[in-house]
Amino acid sequence: MTSTATTSLAATDRGAGEPALVFLPGWCGDRTVFDELVVGTSERRRALSVDWPGHGDTPSTTRDFTTADLVDRTLDLLEQAGVQRVVPVALSHAGWVALELRRRLGSERVPALVLLDWMVLGPPPPFLDALEGLQRPESWEQTRAALFDMWTRSLDIPPLVDYVAGMGAHGFDMWARAGREIASSFRTEGSPLEALGRLDPPPRTLHLYAQPGDAEVLTAQQEFAAAHPWFEVRRLDARSHFPMFEVPEEMSVLVEQFVASLP
């Protein structure tokens, strides 16, 4: 394993071979969420995971930053690392970064995307309310606590509990920024599936998720996949919104099978 602190982003870099995988964490979480996936997938190809500014080992910045800045930083990292072809593997709302990487680099350099536990059909109204709550000084802590409870309630998964607790180290500025940027992306792009469908051509896309467990959510994605062959979905047998803490071996195999199937 190689861990590097570059002028762009701190990163873990393992394995060899392309297309490489670049693992992108969600807001207010660091790259350790991907540790098991990086180990598993790097047996057959290069795998990198990154920390966003002010997260993990990437230093904080005194200025505000946006999703576009995260895209620029990731592009810098890929250039410094000498990565030519890459498949972004994005957790939750880092999917917006993955989508923009495809726009910026094109289909030759970004032949596919892997999305992990994202609202690909679009956000439900209560979640949009939560994004607003994160941006208000008087309500952000209560909103964050509700999210943490939803992610950990009745789940005896120590790595998950520890990871979510670590997310609590971020204060109002970062959580408000997360709420603002996620809400802005949904307003601008619509649902992730709509946004992906507008790319020319749409990228081969695999969505791996565990929650929600509602059959209707899976059926809607399967129906979309039947009408749009570039999209695939697989619901994992896991209980949390962070299935990599429960079934990392299965996820590593599914990601590798998907990437190995690319032309």
Question: How sure is the predictor about 8, in pLDDT bands with cuts at 50, 70 and 90?
Answer: confident
Radius of gyration of the chain (CA): 17
Say whether 207 is catalytic.
Answer: no
Q: Is 191 a residue whose pLDDT tops 80?
A: yes
pLDDT, average across residues 120-134: 97
Q: Is 3 a residue whose pLDDT tops 80?
A: no
Q: Is 7 a residue whose pLDDT tops 60?
A: no
Q: How high is the mean pLDDT of the chain? A: 96
pLDDT at 84: 98
pLDDT, average across residues 85-111: 98
Find, among 135, 160, 170, 134, the residue nearest to 58 by Cα.
Answer: 170
pLDDT at 168: 97
Find, among 106, 104, 146, 117, the residue nearest to 24 by Cα.
Answer: 117
Q: Is 1 a residue whose pLDDT tops 80?
A: no
Q: Which amino acid, residue 157?
A: I
The domain spans of the chain are 2-121+191-260
- CA separation, residue 36 to residues 43, 63, 88 (Å): 12, 32, 16
Instruction: Report the side by side order of strands in the sheet with 86-91.
Output: 2-5, 10-14, 47-50, 20-24, 86-91, 112-116, 204-209, 231-235
Q: pTM here?
A: 0.96
Residue 178 CA, distance from chain mean position: 13
Continuous segment of H or E residues that includes residue 90:
strand 86-91
Question: In sequence order, what are the residues at sequence separation of 6 or more whose Cβ sits closer than 8 angstroms to the Cβ of residue 15?
Answer: 41, 42, 43, 44, 45, 46, 47
Question: How sure is the predictor about 2, in pLDDT bands with cuts at 50, 70 and 90?
Answer: low
Is 197 in contact with 96 (CB distance < 8 Å)? no
- Secondary-structure class of domain 2-121+191-260 per CATH: alpha beta
Q: Is 30 a residue whose pLDDT tops 80?
A: yes
pLDDT, average across residues 24-52: 98
| 235-253 confidence digits (pLDDT tens) | 999 999 999 999 999 999 9
pLDDT, average across residues 113-130: 97
pLDDT, average across residues 137-162: 97
Find, among 26, 24, 25, 2, the residue nearest to 82 by Cα.
Answer: 2
- Of 55, 93, 207, 241, the active-site residue reads 241
